Amino acid sequence: MNSIAVNDLHKTYAGALTPSLRGLSFSFPEGKIAGLLGPNGAGKTTTISILCGLVKQDAGKVRIFDIPQEAGRREQIKRVVGIVPQQIALFPQLTALENLVYFGNLYGFKGKALKDKVMGHLEAFGLEKAANKEVGRFSGGMKRRTNIIAAILHEPELLVLDEPTAGVDVQSRSMILQFLREYNAKGNSVLYTSHLLEEAQQICEDVAIMDEGKLVVQGSPADLINGLDDCRNLEDVFLHYTGHAVRD
Partner 1 sequence: MLRLIATIRKEWLLLRRDKAGLTLLFAMPLVLITVMALIQDAPFKDYQEVKFDILTVDNDQGRLGRYIREGLGASGQFNVIDSFGQQPLTEEKAQSLIAEGAYKISITIPKGATAEIVSNANKIVNDISKRMGLASQLPVKAVVADSLAVQLYFDPASKKAFKSAIQQALDNFLTQVQTDLLLERIQMQLKSKDSAAAQDTFPAIKLKAVGLKETGVGAGKQIDVISNSVQHNVPAWSIFAMFFIVIPIAGNMIREREDGSLVRMKLIPGNYGSILSGKLLFFVGICVVQFYLMMLVGIYILPMLGLPRLQLGGDHAAGLLTAASIGVTATAYGILIGTLFKTPNQALNFGAISIVILSAIGGIWIPLEIMPDTMQKIGRLSPLSWGLDAINDIYLRNGNVGYILPDIARLLGCGAIMLAIAAIVEQRRIG
Ligand X SMILES: Nc1ncnc2c1ncn2[C@@H]1O[C@H](COP(=O)(O)OP(=O)(O)OP(=O)(O)O)[C@@H](O)[C@H]1O
* Residues 157, 191: Cα–Cα separation, whole Å: 11
3-state secondary structure of 209: strand
* Residues 244, 54: Cα–Cα separation, whole Å: 32
Give least dist CB 95 to ligand X, A. Answer: 29
Per CB under 6 A, 38 contacts ligand X: yes
Per CB under 6 A, 45 contacts ligand X: yes
* DSSP conformational letter for 246: P
Binding ligand X by CB under 6 A: which of 46, 57, 189, 218?
46
Question: Binding partner of residue 66 among Mg ion, partner 1, ligand X, none, CB under 5 to 8 Å per kind?
Answer: none
Binding Mg ion by CB under 5 A: which of 32, 37, 39, 45?
45
* Residues 95, 104: Cα–Cα separation, whole Å: 14
Per CB under 6 A, 242 contacts ligand X: no
* Residues 39, 64: Cα–Cα separation, whole Å: 25
* Residues 185, 78: Cα–Cα separation, whole Å: 22
Per CB under 6 A, 189 contacts ligand X: no
Per CB under 8 A, 75 contacts partner 1: yes
* Residues 95, 131: Cα–Cα separation, whole Å: 7
Question: Binding partner of residue 125 among partner 1, ligand X, Mg ion, none, CB under 5 to 8 Å per kind?
Answer: none
14 torsion bin: left (phi>0), alpha (psi -120 to 50), beta (else) = beta
Scan residues 2-41 and list those touching partner 1 (CB under 8 A).
14
Which of residues 25 and 86 has its CB atom nearest to Mg ion in the complex? 86
* Residues 125, 142: Cα–Cα separation, whole Å: 9
The site for partner 1 (CB under 8 A) is made up of 14, 52-56, 75-76, 78-79, 83, 85, 87-94, 98, 101-103, 105-108, 110, 134, 150-151, 154
The site for ligand X (CB under 6 A) is made up of 13, 16, 20, 38, 40-46, 86
